[in-house]
A and B are shown apart, each in its own frame.
Chain A
Amino acid sequence: MSVVVIGDRSVGKSSTVLELANPYNKNCVEIVEPDYETLRENYINPDTNQMVPTRTEEQQPLVLNVQLPGGEKQVNSVWIDTPGEMWDSPQWRQENPAAWQDFKTRLNECVGIILLLPPHRDLVSPNLLNVANDHHTLNRDDLLNFQAWENRLGKWLDFFLQDCSQVEHIAICLHKADLFCNVDKVSREFQYNYAGGTQWWKFNETARKKYFYQVEKNIKNYHQRGGKPIQFFITSIKNRGLLELPWLYLSPYILYQDHNSY
């Protein structure tokens, strides 16, 4: 029943989960166990008020309250947080072959994967980056340029094809959306309706065509090689509605997984 959150170093994996536990911004998803305060104690350095980087792979059982068209449901999941090094350092994988193999095995037992991608440098608006300075530790120069970002995405898609063939649901989030768009305005295009009437395929098409059009060829190629369906999102901890979407998308699959076999 796990959902694994993956992404390169400093992309904001832990902070997304922390924000989803924040009861003050709740929309349709809330992590209720562990509670916000407990997660804050675990992930925030009280001296600096900054996120503590994840050093080891951690499994955190989560209980989420989720508003679905069928009513409010409680979803149990295990969030597997991973150190960024696991993903962006081939050296780490070479030095820890057993841990890497073990992780891949467990990954394939998951219901879904949420991949967080940082925006590429060319997408980021310097103005928005300045505005967000308080919340992000990134410099624009630290971000990948488009070409390198595209190559990295290609590696992720290869990883899904080669190493995640048993995982049925993949959510790719272009994260830190507040660095490249007005998240409040954009979130109106991706308004989830808990009473029903959401068209996920439409959300997917909109996100893909608007924010992933430059890598359309890579996506087509991935599907033609038999890749599992991917749902694309843009997310930001600055907009709870957008941040909740991948979990709203995955929750029914976690919830109804027993009807089917995984």
Chain B
Amino acid sequence: MSEIRVIGPRGSGKTTYLATIAYLGELARTGEQEHFKGLKVTAIGPDSEKLVGLAKDVIKQGQKVPPTRTKGNIEYHPDYQLEINIPGGGGKRIELVAKDYPGEVFELLGLRHKLSEIESYLEDLFTTNHWLIMLTDWQTDQDTRVYQPAFDSLLDRLEAETKNKSELANIRIAVVMAKCERGELWPGRLEPEQDLFKIRLPLSHDILRKKFPSSKQLKFFACSSFGVMGDKDPRPNRYLPNDGSSAENAYLRKGDCWQPYGLLSPLYWLDTGKILKDVRL
């Protein structure tokens, strides 16, 4: 069983990502996408079951997942436990326990004078060596203003922590470009490191790759919780209101066309160190 921490800035879609995964089994059962056939996801425990409800009663009905707020202490945040059976090649099974961090934690990382506010989260983060970092590139200055200082601080702390915790030397970090259903990202999803991160978030890419030159420890992914309208219809399955609200306030456009993309690949790699052949999963 892998203990995974999901971190990333506010609005990057972390809770939507986890809720969509929790609901993937149901989507596989009722949807028409061949590549999902046989996929099973079991949500274990009441918190994980609530994720399923959130997907079914909120996301699928065109409502928005509310932001995860800081509770001051990581202990008050639920552990989501999911058992995922992936079909094909004799079958693959992932068992994971994930914790969803409030976006504010990632954003405060770069403000070193405020690190004490997120100390309990940081202590928890360094108890695991499987991290999923979810990013978006809505605002062009995020890479400079938020991400790079956050990674700078995180990697400094990682170096210090590794001296006492040898297991951190084997850390695996999956960096995921979320919401890649957007037209400008969708074509780059097949080579995310080259075509998304190097181009759109170059500072984040460089600082991470410099620290981890090997793809055994750091790998870049692209995913989309909403996906596109269909195999032959690459329009994003998302609705953006034209009421002046932020572009982060997107809604699933059509629940019955819901086909998420690339959600399991980063988890599978974190768990096994291997790559899923079907990048759509």
Q: A224 contacts which chain B residues (CB < 8 A)?
A: 244
Contact B255–A222 (Cβ < 8 Å): no
Contact A222–B244 (Cβ < 8 Å): yes
CB of B20 to closest CB in A, whole Å: 14
Chain A binder among B63-71, B162-170, B182-190, B266-274:
B63-71
Name A196-236 residues within 8 Å CB distance of B.
196-202, 204-205, 208, 216, 219-224, 227, 229
Is A260 an interface position by the 8 A CB rule? yes
Query: With contacts A205-B241, A261-B76, A261-B102 known, is A256 near B61, CB below 8 A?
Result: no
Nearest B-chain residue to A253, judged by Cβ = B66
Query: With contacts A68-B57, A258-B50 known, is A169 near B66, CB below 8 A?
Result: yes
Pick from A70, A216, A223, A224 the residue with the most CB of B within 10 Å. Answer: A70
Is A35 an interface position by the 8 A CB rule? no
Name B202-237 residues within 8 Å CB distance of A.
none
Nearest B-chain residue to A205, judged by Cβ = B241
Is B140 an interface position by the 8 A CB rule? no
Nearest A-chain residue to B47, judged by Cβ = A259
Is B278 an interface position by the 8 A CB rule? no
Contact B61–A198 (Cβ < 8 Å): yes
Is B251 an interface position by the 8 A CB rule? yes
Is B159 an interface position by the 8 A CB rule? no
Q: How far is the CA of A255 from the CA of B64 in the complex (A)?
A: 14
Query: With contacts A256-B58, A262-B69 known, is A197 near B256, CB below 8 A?
Result: yes
Is A69 an interface position by the 8 A CB rule? yes
Query: With contacts A69-B61, A197-B256, A258-B47 known, is A168 near B243, CB below 8 A?
Result: no
Binary contact readout B73-97 vs A (1 if CB under 8 angstroms, 0 otherwise): 0001110000000000000000000
Contact A199–B244 (Cβ < 8 Å): no
Contact A260–B241 (Cβ < 8 Å): no
Nearest B-chain residue to A259, judged by Cβ = B50
Contact A220–B239 (Cβ < 8 Å): no
Contact A69–B102 (Cβ < 8 Å): no
Is A252 an interface position by the 8 A CB rule? yes
Number of A-B contacts (CB under 8 A): 97
Q: How far is the CA of A169 from the CA of B54 in the complex (A)?
A: 15
Q: A205 contacts which chain B residues (CB < 8 A)?
A: 241
Is A146 an interface position by the 8 A CB rule? no
Q: A160 contacts which chain B residues (CB < 8 A)?
A: none
Is A156 an interface position by the 8 A CB rule? no
Contact A223–B57 (Cβ < 8 Å): no
Is B53 an interface position by the 8 A CB rule? yes
Q: Per a CB cutoff under 8 Å, which of A199, A227, A256, A260 touches B69?
A: A260
CB of B115 to closest CB in A, whole Å: 20
CB of A206 to closest CB in B, whole Å: 12
Q: How far is the CA of A260 from the CA of B60 in the complex (A)?
A: 18
Is B56 an interface position by the 8 A CB rule? yes
Contact B245–A229 (Cβ < 8 Å): yes
Q: Per a CB cutoff under 8 Å, which of B52, B53, B77 touches A255?
A: B53
Name A44-102 residues within 8 Å CB distance of B.
68-70
Contact A255–B57 (Cβ < 8 Å): yes
Query: With contacts A199-B254, A199-B255, A223-B244 known, is A261 near B71, CB below 8 A?
Result: yes
Contact B62–A200 (Cβ < 8 Å): yes
Is A249 an interface position by the 8 A CB rule? yes
Q: How far is the CA of A222 from the CA of B246 in the complex (A)?
A: 11
Contact A200–B251 (Cβ < 8 Å): yes
Query: With contacts A198-B62, A199-B254, A201-B62 known, is A69 near B243, CB below 8 A?
Result: no
Q: B51 contacts which chain A residues (CB < 8 A)?
A: 259
Q: A68 contacts which chain B residues (CB < 8 A)?
A: 57
Q: How far is the CA of A249 from the CA of B61 in the complex (A)?
A: 10
Q: How far is the CA of A200 from the CA of B56 in the complex (A)?
A: 13
Is B33 an interface position by the 8 A CB rule? no
* 6 contacting pairs across A/B (C-beta < 8 A): A198-B61, A199-B61, A199-B253, A224-B244, A249-B63, A258-B50
Residues of A within 8 A of B (CB): 68-70, 168-169, 196-202, 204-205, 208, 216, 219-224, 227, 229, 249, 252-253, 255-256, 258-262
Smallest CB-CB A-B distances: 8 pairs:
A220-B244, A223-B244, A259-B50, A223-B245, A252-B57, A199-B62, A201-B251, A201-B62
